[in-house]
Amino acid sequence: MLLLALIGPYIAPFDPLAIDFRNRLVEPSWTHLLGTDGSGRDVLSRILYGAKLTILSTVTVIATVLFFGCILGIFSAFVGGTIDNFLMRIADVWLGFPPLILALGFAAALGSSLEAAILALIFSWWPTYARLSRMITVDILSKKFVASANALGVSTARKVTHYVLPNAFDILIIQVTLDISAVMLAISGLSFIGVGAQIPQPEWGAMIADGRSFTSKGWWVVTFPGLMIFITAMSFNIIGDMLRRELDPTLVTRH
Amino acid sequence: MPGAASATNASRDDAVLKLENVSIALSATRTTMVHSVSLSIDRGEIFGLAGESGSGKTLLMRTLFGLHDDAIIESGRMTFKGAEISSSGHRKRVRKLLGHEIGFVPQDPFSSLNPTMRIGKQIREALYLGKGISPKSGEAGKIALDLLDEVGISEPELAVDQFPDQFSGGMRQRIVIAIALSQEPSILVADEPTTALDAFTQRRIINLIIERSRTRNLTVILISHNLELLRQNVDRIAVMYGGQLFNILDSGEISEGAAHPYTVALFNCIPRKDMTLGDIRSIPGEPLSAGYGLTGCAFSKRCGLRQDVCDSSLIPVNSALARSFDACLVKAGRQA
Amino acid sequence: MRYVLERIAFSLFALFILIFITFLLSHVVPGDPAIAAAGPNAGAEKIQLIRERMGLDQPFHVQFLTYGSKVLAGDFGTSWFTHQPIADDIMRELPPSLELVVLAMLINLVISFPVGLIAARYHGSSFDNGVRVVAIAGAGLPIFWTAILLQQKVAADWQLFPVAGRLSFAYRDFEGATGFYLFDSLAQARLDVFLDLIMHMFLPALALSLLFTAVGVRITRTSMISEFRKDYVVMARAKGASEARIMFRHVFRNGATPSLTVFGMQFGWMLGATVLVEEIFGRPGIGRYAVKAVTQSDIHAVVGVVLVVGLVFVISNMAIDLILFAINPRKARED
């Protein structure tokens, strides 16, 4: 998938934004493998460019929440006490709110654009990682080897880089793979309702929104971008599930 | 051995449970986990089944009584109260006996009671399933109270309306036993019923089971890794290791040195911590079907009496259903 | 009792956070609201005047308190595009959405519980593996795409269900006291209207529920599998209980507890996801209202929706937790 996002633009046969009114809603054929949309743009090319857009936005969201969420979570775990309690209560509340509605609120406040949608999702997604990294850190800090490290006077920074992060890696990577599909669905959803990527942009959700008025005349305009979202999200779910079975010892089945 | 054969005849009429060359395999991989176990248990007998974790004792018992989903009886005959329970459809057949003829007490008292069902209801359910007494009837309620009183739960009237987590481990185990006893089975299988408990509570629970066995002629199979506990409380002990049945002997004989080398080793290590057999391989990690499990004695690698015959010959099996039995190849060779 | 108080306190705290977030959304994030409100041609004096009138010259915490007390009194401001009080708009749009979500939730529960339970009972079978794969795949479904496809295929092409709307044209004059037409139609003994409503709701509810059902099945299956491994199942079998009795009397109730918490959260998430389906199916509701408000840049209307959805979320979660507590006090506290 990442490969597709990287090379997609180079193998695309047409300009994703080139409008050609003589070739509107052409059925899938050898020239236009997946047909053209209501403005005569090649659907395959748009999907290929869209891969980059969709996946880059998703990665941006995940990378940012991973970074800030973990800082907050680890900080909270090390500080402990009332501050820890307070921060985690906020994260609890925040985590539960329907992410789509929260993102919609942020997007409305920031104005409609793909950047706003990304920012909005960052605002709604950070608690997952704050909670998770805090949980892992607390768990590791309670282990005996950390107690002996304390006795040796190991610095906090060193504890984070040498004890917490290596141990947190497995769990975080599982969460990341599982979240990629959720974030991607959210971004395309926001773009679909018009607060994310704006219509000429070849983002998959926006493409579906654009193709909606032609569903009866050109099923391919809506079907293929949606299929791409579905396949990509599903792949990450499957990878996440495989990783979880592989890395998470609590889920090992008895046999 | 003619002497052993006559002993078998004497016990046969009174046997509650007979196993003849029973082997257990995992249903998924068909890996044989327990090899050719033969034994006969008398009515009213308190029988001990000893072995470390992984020896196959729990697997054997759970499979025999239809409580293991992932294992099957691969070969051999199981006879319960004179009637054979055939291996085809074994689980279904034996399940019909559960709840009135056969009672079973699982290992962990903390999880063997349903956490969201009141104690009284769990006993009344057992009465309904085992004896057809309507759960709503006053009779069921009274029996439940009497039983709880009998197993030593103070204030049974309060207890019936409480949930399991309101009791300590020892009390929960007593409740579990009360549930099993309420169905008045002819045989009670207790799988490590006291492992999770302190010494004092252990004593009370074992006494409770023995007492019931004496007064109602109840047959008991007590499964435990603790040979000392068995030696003090049961009539006969069977010792398993690596899926093989090594030894059947009267509990009094253990300390007399007549036992199988493994039994001796197991017994000797009880008081001395430096001699634990923790490094002995247990079943799941070892491919027994390909290894010594089929040819030779599972214990040979760690046995002081080891000779070449231990790795090359099949160990003897107790086909004659003798009251006592020793599977040691070396000792058998000496006698011959 | 202590648990109940704590749980209520937590909900109040959640409400506070909610109001704070919406305050940030409406007052801080968009920049200076006075400039926006004054319009592009306003001079500095006019902006200053508006700022004073809107209370924006007040310190931050005073603004927040003013905002909070207004919100708590049910005053969300006036919508720029409907010219109605936002609270009235939302009260009108909420019932159809809640009806839709309740139906979607029913579909979710009716599928998740039996499928999860049976898959767990036959853990490792081909049925179980099939369920696992479908559940993982289903968690990648874009709701709006499923909605369009269902609408196009099942409604437009096969004509099994109406394509759009809440009620058929013939019933356009139907009115109910509560706004919950499903309830109103039954109260008026109008079974025809009730069935018409269901027919209109079915596809949108299905589209809305598929993604959540996939997650629901997965969660239920996982928690049921771990229940089947516990010794009380062995104990129940040893008592002679049938497999059906074990599944429904013993395992189901224990395994359902963790799933119920998830379903409680899903209720709020589904209400949020109505923004993706109501527009497509041309249904009135809070989701379509929110989308309209966003495209009209009506920040206060959007914030109103965020507040109300958040409130529903807080309440539904608290309700689930308190119900679980009532069923089994100890277990609820442990979870």
Least confidently predicted of A70-79, A156-165, B60-69: A156-165
Partners of C234 on chain B (C-beta within 8 Å) are 62, 67, 104, 106, 112
Least confidently predicted of A205-214, B66-75, B155-164, B322-331: A205-214
Average pLDDT, chain C: 86
Q: Tell me how close the Cα of A81 comes to any Cα of chain B, in angstroms.
A: 30
Q: What is the ipTM of this complex?
A: 0.84
Three-state DSSP at C206 gives helix
Q: Tell me how close the Cα of B287 comes to any Cα of chain C, in angstroms.
A: 22
Least confidently predicted of A203-217, B272-286, C261-275: B272-286
Give C139's Cβ-side CA count (13 Å radius). 25
**A112 vs A6, more confident:** A112
Return the structure tokens found at A100: 């789509």
Which residues lie closer than 8 Å to B81 by C-beta, 6 or more apart? B16, B17, B101, B186
Judged against a pLDDT cut of 80, whether residue C44 lies above it is answered with no
pLDDT band per the 50, 70, 90 thresholds, residue C143: very high
pLDDT score, position B126:
93
**A34 vs B81, more confident:** B81
CB-based contact A112 C294, cutoff 8 Å: yes
- Report which of A174, A177, A146 is spatially closest to residue A78, judged by C-alpha positions: A146
Average pLDDT, chain A: 80
Give B108's Cβ-side CA count (13 Å radius). 10
Question: Residues of B near A (CB-CB distance < 8 A)?
Answer: 26, 28, 70
Judged against a pLDDT cut of 50, whether residue B11 lies above it is answered with no
Residues A109-135, mean pLDDT to the nearest whole number: 87
CB-based contact B99 C238, cutoff 8 Å: yes
Question: Residues of C near B (CB-CB distance < 8 A)?
Answer: 124, 230-232, 234-241, 249-250, 253-254, 257, 327-328, 330-331
Judged against a pLDDT cut of 50, whether residue B3 lies above it is answered with no
Q: Indicate which of B101, B112, B113, B195 best probes the interface with C, i.e. most C CBs within 10 Å of its own CB.
A: B112
**Chain A from 10 to 69: CB within 8 A of any C CB:** none
Partners of A222 on chain C (C-beta within 8 Å) are 145, 148-149, 152
Q: Tell me how close the Cα of A166 comes to any Cα of chain C, in angstroms.
A: 28
A224 interfacial to chain C (CB closer than 8 Å): no
- Report which of A216, A59, A248, A42 is spatially closest to residue A136, judged by C-alpha positions: A248
Closest residue to B116, CB basis, from C234, C239, C328: C328
**C272 vs B303, more confident:** C272
Judged against a pLDDT cut of 50, whether residue A180 lies above it is answered with yes
pLDDT score, position B80:
92
pLDDT score, position A10:
66
Nearest-CA residue of chain A relative to C278? A193
pLDDT score, position B280:
43
Least confidently predicted of A246-255, B173-182, B255-264: A246-255
pLDDT score, position C55:
67
Query: CA-to-CA distance for C192 and C199, rounded, in angstroms?
Result: 11
Query: CA-to-CA distance for A121 and A57, rounded, in angstroms?
Result: 10
Residues A166-190, mean pLDDT to the nearest whole number: 86
Query: CA-to-CA distance for B149 and B127, rounded, in angstroms?
Result: 16
- Report which of B306, B292, B319 is spatially closest to residue B261, judged by C-alpha positions: B306
CB-based contact A98 C269, cutoff 8 Å: yes
Judged against a pLDDT cut of 60, whether residue B1 lies above it is answered with no
Least confidently predicted of A122-136, B257-271, B310-324, C242-256: B257-271
Residues C152-168, mean pLDDT to the nearest whole number: 85
Partners of C18 on chain A (C-beta within 8 Å) are 93, 97
Judged against a pLDDT cut of 60, whether residue C138 lies above it is answered with yes
Residue B304 near residue B334, CB atoms below 8 Å: no
Residues A68-90, mean pLDDT to the nearest whole number: 89
Query: CA-to-CA distance for A77 and A133, rounded, in angstroms?
Result: 8
Judged against a pLDDT cut of 80, whether residue B290 lies above it is answered with no
CB-based contact C331 B67, cutoff 8 Å: no
* pLDDT, tens digit, 9 for 90 and up, residues C190-249: 888 899 999 999 999 999 999 999 999 999 999 999 899 888 999 999 999 988 999 998
pLDDT score, position C207:
94
B163 interfacial to chain C (CB closer than 8 Å): yes
Query: CA-to-CA distance for C67 and C261, rounded, in angstroms?
Result: 32
B165 interfacial to chain C (CB closer than 8 Å): yes
* % of chain C exceeding 70 in pLDDT: 91
Query: CA-to-CA distance for A58 and A48, rounded, in angstroms?
Result: 16
The highest-confidence range among A98-112, A160-174, B65-79, by mean pLDDT, is B65-79
Q: Tell me how close the Cα of B53 comes to any Cα of chain A, in angstroms.
A: 15
pLDDT score, position B294:
56
pLDDT score, position B279:
44
CB-based contact C241 B165, cutoff 8 Å: no
CB-based contact B107 C231, cutoff 8 Å: yes
* pLDDT, tens digit, 9 for 90 and up, residues B12-24: 457 899 999 999 8
C62 interfacial to chain A (CB closer than 8 Å): no
pLDDT band per the 50, 70, 90 thresholds, residue B7: very low
* % of chain B exceeding 70 in pLDDT: 86
The DSSP secondary-structure symbol of C304 reads: H
pLDDT score, position C99:
94
**Chain C from 231 to 270: CB within 8 A of any A CB:** 265, 268-269
pLDDT score, position B190:
92
Query: CA-to-CA distance for B177 and B153, rounded, in angstroms?
Result: 12
Amino acid letter, C206? L
Judged against a pLDDT cut of 80, whether residue A2 lies above it is answered with no
pLDDT band per the 50, 70, 90 thresholds, residue B8: very low
Least confidently predicted of A167-181, B138-152, C19-33, C129-143: C19-33
Least confidently predicted of B5-9, C86-90, C111-115: B5-9
* DSSP secondary structure of A61-100: HHHHHHHHHHHHHHHHHHH-HHHHHHHHHHHHHHHHS-HH
Judged against a pLDDT cut of 90, whether residue C100 lies above it is answered with yes
Partners of B100 on chain C (C-beta within 8 Å) are 240
Average pLDDT, chain B: 82
Strand partners, B249: B237
Judged against a pLDDT cut of 50, whether residue B292 lies above it is answered with no
